[in-house]
Amino acid sequence: MRNTTENEELKYYKSVALLSIICILANQENLFNNYQAINQRFHIMAAINLTVNGKKQTLNIDPNTPMLWVLRDHLNLVGAKYGCGIAACGACTVHLNGTAVRSCQLPVSAAAGSKITTIEGLSEKGDHPVQKAWIEHDVSQCGYCQAGQIMSAAALLKTTPKPTDEQIDNAMNGNICRCGTYLRIHAAIKTASKS
């Protein structure tokens, strides 16, 4: 543990948050990983305010902890899945202020003050148009990647309510489905876009 004054801490989190977001937005995974590796040496625990699925909560946690493990291990929200840990498969996809992000590469500190939405919070009754379309098309085989697929699809439809095939292809290309349900995923997004 490193002792820091309150002011230092605040600066630190702000810098972590800012740099992480820049790295993610710029798609600079290597830079981001290096940055994270340096940070891990500090072992700082911090009180971090989060809004997850509309619920405000404070966690005392290592600020470098990826959001994925905060959700899964600390908040018992296990819908987002671990698949690769390097933002290459999309199984961990959640929404950060409405945008699809890979939670395995999102430090919890970078989410402080932002709104996180997981599959559990996508709709109150499991009736988001994308979820309904997934059920209608009987998309799933093993089902493991589907929460991530649904979150990517829901984020796409938010910005692009009537996506073209190409827009769907581009938005969904980061989500691997090992069972090969891509055609049903595509068709379900088309159906959801009509509702």
Partner 1 sequence: MKTEKNTIDRRSFLKSTALAGGGLMIGFSWLTSAKAASANAVVAPVELSGYIKIGADGVITLMAPNPEFGQNVKTSLPMLIAEELDIDWKKIVVEQAPHDRKYGGQFTGGSNGVRSAWRSLRTAGATARQMLIEAAAQIWGVPATEITTGAGVVYHKISGKSAPYGDLAAKAATLPTPTGLTLKGVKDFKVIGTSTKNVDGVKIATGKPLFTIDIKHEGMLIAMITHAPGFGLKLKSLDDMAARKMPGIKDIFTIDTYAEGTRVGGFNATTFNNLVVVVGNSTWEVMNAKKALKTEWEPMPGAVLESTVTQRQKMEEMSKQQVNAARKDGDPEAAFKSAAKVIERTYTAPFLAHNPMEPINFFANVTADKAELAGPLQAPGMIESAISARIGIPADKIDIQLTRMGGGFGRRAYSHYAVEAAVISQKMKAPIKLVYTREDDMTGGVYRPHYTATYRAALDANNNLIGFHVRGGGVPESAVAANRFPAGAVDNYLAESWTIRSNVTVGAFRAPGSNFIGGAEQSFLDEVAEAAGKDPIEFRLELLERARTKPVGQRNDYDAERYAGVLKLVKEKSNWGQSKPGISRGVAAYFCHNSYVAQVVDLVMVKNEPVIQKVYNAVDCGVVVNPIAAANLCEGGCVDAIGNALFGEMTIKDGRPEKSNFDKYRMIRHKEAPKAIEVHFVKSEKDPTGLGEPLFPPMFGALANALYKGTKKRFYQQPFNIKERLAEGKPAV
Alpha-carbon torsion (103, 163, 158, 122), positive or negative = negative
In DSSP terms, 93 is beta-bridged to 102
Q: To which residue do tokens 């190409």 refer?
A: 166
List 135, 160, 161, 164, residue binding partner 1 (CB under 8 A): 135
179-188: long-range contacts, CB 8 A cutoff, minimum separation 24: 179/141, 179/142, 179/145, 180/141, 181/139, 181/140, 181/141, 181/146, 184/137, 184/138, 184/139, 185/139, 185/149, 185/153, 187/137, 188/130, 188/133, 188/134, 188/136, 188/137, 188/139, 188/153
Q: Identify which range of 8-16, 19-27, 95-103, 139-147 contacts partner 1 by CB under 8 A.
A: 139-147
Would you count residue 10 as binding partner 1 (CB under 8 A)?
Answer: no
Would you count residue 46 as binding partner 1 (CB under 8 A)?
Answer: no
**Nearest distance from residue 114's CB to partner 1, in Å?**
18
How many chain residues are in contact with partner 1, going by CB under 8 A? 65
**Nearest distance from residue 8's CB to partner 1, in Å?**
20
Would you count residue 77 as binding partner 1 (CB under 8 A)?
Answer: yes
Cβ nearer to partner 1, comparing 20 with 181: 181
Contacting residues toward partner 1, per CB under 8 A: 40, 43, 45, 53, 55, 62, 65-66, 69, 72-86, 88-89, 91, 118-120, 122, 126, 131, 134-135, 138-147, 150, 165, 168-170, 172-186
